Structure 1
Amino acid sequence: MSPTSTSTVPEVYTGQSGCKYRVERVLQEETSPPRQVYLAGSGDRKFILKYIHAVNYHYLEDINNRLRNSAEHVRLTQDRIPEKSMFVFEYLKDHLLHLAQKDLPIDTTKRILKDALLGLAELHDQDIVHTDIKADNILIDWEDHQEGISVRKVQIGDLEDAAHIPAGSDMIGKQAGNWMWRSPEAHASGPVNKPSDIFSFALVCICAVHKRVIFAVGDEELEEGVDPLAIVIERQISYFADEEGIDAFLKHLGDDNPWVRVFEVVRDGFGKDNPRRPFALWKGVDEDFKSLICAMTKFDPGKRITAREALAHKWFEGV
């Protein structure tokens, strides 16, 4: 991705609604495959114009339509530019991965996470699985006042990899997004569904509260020939698995899944010289927060709490 001057693109696009969007600058541009994201203005409002690959255009249109009247906390299309295969979105100035690095009061962080979790619940209520939950897909509009940061709106964005999965079904082999935020079953190309989003959202919560992306792997941690994913899987088991949970997880993957043996080898590598470090025992972590995260990250996907259950958790009381 590289910034480009707007001289190479039309100055104005007209949406299906008749609204005209004047391009202010190019935010992203890729040539292979071709993809553009523009910041544009219309009147006194700002919008994002985003190219959607033609193969996905109508599918994503259907996803947006399913959510149209029931998803206040999901960033949906405001308009469309069909001849350019573009969707128009409201502009929100920041995302959580960036904002979390600021010294936010815990009440503000809880408000952001609860609103984002409401967005996830709204998706799941319509049997839509996001598949790419991560901190930089939690979009936030905020203002900096003398008394501190004021959050105006929080929404889950980037539905390009979202999937409508009817109740009772699973999606096999979906591995959207960055491996630092994926659930164990997504790494293993296993059955993916709403619990996979819940696991990823727990990682977002840890990032927001403790300013750590716990599955980020630095170059200094890698020995020659070691795949970063091996370290991520080892940490996932170390922090969140118990014997009962990982046994159920391996059954969830199925006997024919080649990743079963990978997880078994990693599981069996823990011992006296390489003990597990369960998140439930981490020091300096609020006990209610631990309870929430452990309930969202159970290794058995069937045992993870739902988005609606997480919203009712004690850690969110009073928010």
Structure 2
Amino acid sequence: MAAITSAIGRSGRRYVVEKILQESRGPYGPVYLASADNKRYVLKDVGSQAFKHLDHMYNDFRASTYVRVAEDAIPDHTMFAFRYFKDHLLSFAGKAVPESQVKRILRDSLRGLAAMHEKRFVHGDVKPNNIVIDYDGEGGEGGKCTVTQVQLADIEDAAYVPEGKAIEGWTAGNWMWRSPEAHAARKLCEESDMFSFGLVCIYAMTRRILMAVDDKELFVTHEGQKVEIEKLAVVIERQMSYFAPDLDSIEGFMAYLGGDHPWAPIFTVTVEGFGKDNPRKPLTLWTGIEEDFRDLLAKLTDLNPLNRIGSKEALEHPWWKDVPDD
């Protein structure tokens, strides 16, 4: 697929390409950084098959200021033009900014998630680099940084899920932010997004990517021999250790998964591996974090999807009470 140097949108705006941000990815074409009318834009080539569908979907969410949708379409190149944002949460969280600003980012991205869930769409890939941010100032030691806008981005792979239904067979999202049922490609729904959002909250407030696995953790000693284990096995163990407040939660998750599911033995063996020498460490017992925050996290990330709160309920949690308005 040949790269382009310029393109004219449906609006009549002419976009001049500055550089390629990302080469072709999966079924989609390249992503470009472009300029038009003294503003910067990101151009995404989505291909002919997805163009019409996404054109309608962006219109569905255009009323929400917290969901990133295309500002223009370029039918001749099956591309969309998006407003350029300065940063995303994965890198922004490292700046020296007030906690209230970080909480605002989380609250506004949750508003975007709620807008999607209201229309019965599951995002499927909630992670820090899919939360885009504009701000004034530079932050850093002694500097000031004020968030001006936050949007939940990369909704191209979102899926419509009718009420009472779920998605089967979709291993959605990045493995470090994925829910336990998503790892098993079992009954994905809005609650799967909420689990991922809980992990994002932990990262934003503590700077810890909880499910990141160091290579040295992939070797364990068994009967005097070093044995290599799968990275995903470490992730699953952490999820069952941290996010099941009690045995009822574990049993509820296993029922949700189904006893005949291919992944059921994996989760069963993981549970059986906990004991006196390897105790579980439920989030509800964590110390050193604010009580309201721990309570919200516990409600977002319960191992059993049926116990998790939805996006609207999460927005009503008292932890947000001191977040500044837009």
Indicate whether the TM-score tops 0.5. Answer: yes
Instruction: Indicate whether 1:298 and 2:302 are aligned.
Output: yes
Q: Which amino acid aligns with 1:90?
A: R
Higher mean C-alpha displacement, 81-90 vs 54-63: 54-63
Runs of at least 4 residues off by over 6 Å: none
Q: 1:189 aligns with which of 185, 188, 199?
A: 185
Alpha-carbon distance in 2 for matches of 1:284, 1:22: 50
Give the percent of matched residue pairs that are identical in Structure 1 and Structure 2.
Answer: 45
Any stretches of 5+ residues in structure 2 without a counterpart?
A: 220-226
Alpha-carbon distance in 1 for matches of 2:255, 2:51: 36
2:224 match: none
2:83 match: 90
1:165 match: 161
> 2:24, 2:31 within 8 Å by CA — same for their partners in 1?
no
Alpha-carbon distance in 2 for matches of 1:46, 1:93: 10
2:15 match: 21
Partner SS for 1:192: coil
Higher mean C-alpha displacement, 248-257 vs 212-221: 248-257
Any stretches of 5+ residues in structure 1 without a counterpart?
A: 1-7
Q: How does 1:105-184 map to 2 (within 5 A)?
A: 105-144=98-137, 148-184=144-180
> 2:182, 2:192 within 8 Å by CA — same for their partners in 1?
yes
In the TM superposition, residue 11 of structure 1 has moved relative to its aligned partner by 2.4
In the TM superposition, residue 205 of structure 1 has moved relative to its aligned partner by 0.3
1:229 match: 232
> 1:14, 1:20 within 8 Å by CA — same for their partners in 2?
yes
> 2:103, 2:320 within 8 Å by CA — same for their partners in 1?
yes
1:307 match: 311
Partner SS for 1:23: strand
Q: Over residues 91-141 of structure 1, what are the superposed CA-to-partner deviations in whole Å (9 max), with x where a residue is unaligned?
A: 111000001112221111111110111000011011111000001100001
Q: 1:75 aligns with which of 68, 81, 98?
A: 68
In the TM superposition, residue 55 of structure 1 has moved relative to its aligned partner by 2.9
Q: 1:284 aligns with which of 282, 288, 312?
A: 288
Higher mean C-alpha displacement, 236-245 vs 171-180: 171-180
Instruction: Indicate whether 1:213 and 2:217 are aligned.
Output: no
1:64 match: 58
> 1:131, 1:174 within 8 Å by CA — same for their partners in 2?
no
> 2:41, 2:83 within 8 Å by CA — same for their partners in 1?
yes
In the TM superposition, residue 144 of structure 1 has moved relative to its aligned partner by 1.4
> 1:60, 1:159 within 8 Å by CA — same for their partners in 2?
no
1:49 match: 43
> 2:172, 2:185 within 8 Å by CA — same for their partners in 1?
no
In the TM superposition, residue 147 of structure 1 has moved relative to its aligned partner by 5.2
Q: Which amino acid aligns with 1:165?
A: V
Alpha-carbon distance in 1 for matches of 2:160, 2:26: 27
Partner SS for 1:190: coil
For this pair of structures, how many residues does the alignment match?
311
Q: Which amino acid aligns with 1:39?
A: L
Q: 2:262 aligns with which of 238, 251, 258?
A: 258
Alpha-carbon distance in 2 for matches of 1:196, 1:170: 10
Partner SS for 1:275: coil
Alpha-carbon distance in 1 for matches of 2:52, 2:231: 36
- Rate the CA distance shift 1:56–1:44 in 2: closer, same or farther, 3 A: same
> 2:73, 2:80 within 8 Å by CA — same for their partners in 1?
yes
Q: Over residues 17-65 of structure 1, what are the superposed CA-to-partner deviations in whole Å (9 max), with x where a residue is unaligned?
A: 2111111111111377662111111112111001113333223223222
Alpha-carbon distance in 2 for matches of 1:244, 1:104: 40
- Rate the CA distance shift 1:317–1:259 in 2: closer, same or farther, 3 A: same
Alpha-carbon distance in 2 for matches of 1:227, 1:138: 29
Alpha-carbon distance in 2 for matches of 1:272, 1:197: 33
Alpha-carbon distance in 1 for matches of 2:92, 2:240: 29
Q: Which amino acid aligns with 1:286?
A: E
CA RMSD of aligned residues (A): 1.6
Alpha-carbon distance in 1 for matches of 2:301, 2:98: 25
Partner SS for 1:92: coil
